[in-house]
Amino acid sequence: MKISIIGAGAMGSLYGGKLSLSGNDVVLYDINKAHVDTINSKGLIIEESDTGEKITAHPTASSNPEDVSGSDLLIIFVKSTATKLVSEQFVKYAKPETIALTLQNGLGNEDIIRDSFGAERTAAGVTSQGATFLGPGKIRHAGNGPTHICMSNKDNTKLKEVIRVFSESGFEIHIEENIADLVWSKLVINVGINAVTALSGLENGKLLDYSDMKSLMADLVGEAVTVAEKKGIKLSYDDPLQIVYDVSEKTALNRSSMLQDFDRGSLTEIDFINYAIVREGAKLGIATPFNSAISKLVKSMELVNRSRKVTDA
């Protein structure tokens, strides 16, 4: 099976590396030239956090979009801010039967990809795998967990081969008919953590040291849960706020992806996380003042951080 990963950061490299180890023809597409060159010359090192074992995989890495031509599966792992761009760019390299699968964070990526590929060639998923980018050609497999996927048109017979190759590569994978419930379940957790860490500069676990931050997390999560319930979403846990606190504690030393975006002075995925709650709430006539305010703050700080980056350069 030819599989192309669009966006070979930590998670994209994890999936691409593991899938290549089981004999699949894998292309890791990324614009990070140092990462691409290192993989092609020395391979991709995957460090297992639980055992310390280091495995070297040898997928093909490329910054040439044409190299993904003929893929049976495109796995989209770019930042949500780039989903529309890559969907429109890569659909022309897809075969009529190619499936485009999003395993990205946030709400709205499936809709964007479906606009380009159609529901019959679009699949959405949620994964509990974790990975950290350590540098060009090196990642850490930070945590194992199941992956759930579903075709946009619910014709999941098309995913039979995908299930097989994922399983053979060591991934726990399941067909999930109600993928929206899982997407929202993960979204609520991100709503409660990511923006607060970005604005405070704190690692996940440190948020719990401050009562006002815990209160803010509760306000953000409360709005998200209200919107989810109104939409008929069934979350995969009974106590959303406690789950958010638990995840913060379990990932205590982690710098969230949004905080890392601030570190780099790059755009965040706020539009697909907290601001997604604002958009969905507005459709239902539900006020979401806390998510609205924090979204505005993050968007403002994006501009400030990018301005600082330009000045420093």
Active-site amino acid positions:
186
* Per-residue tokens: 193: 């953590």
CB neighbour burial string for 57-95, b if at least 16 within 10 angstroms, e if fewer: bebbbbeeeebbbebbbbbbbbbbbbbeebbeebbebbe
Query: What amino acid occupies position 171?
Result: F
Which secondary structure element, helix H or strand E, spans residue 262, and what is its range? Answer: helix 257-264
In the Cβ-directed half-sphere of 132, how many Cα atoms lie within 13 Å? 13
Kindly give the pairing relationship between strand 25-29 and strand 2-6: parallel
Q: Report CA-CA distances (Å) from 287 to 183, 194, 226, 292.
A: 22, 21, 10, 9
Report the greatest alpha carbon distance in the chain. 55
| Dihedral sign computed on CA atoms, order 184, 185, 189, 194 | negative
Residues 6+ apart with CB under 8 A from 214: 207, 208, 245
Shortest CA distance to 91 belongs to which of 99, 79, 103, 82?
99
Query: What amino acid occupies position 139?
Result: I
Query: What amino acid occupies position 308?
Result: R
CB neighbour burial string for 164-199, b if at least 16 within 10 angstroms, e if fewer: ebbeebebebebbeebbbbbbbbbbbbbbbbbbbbb
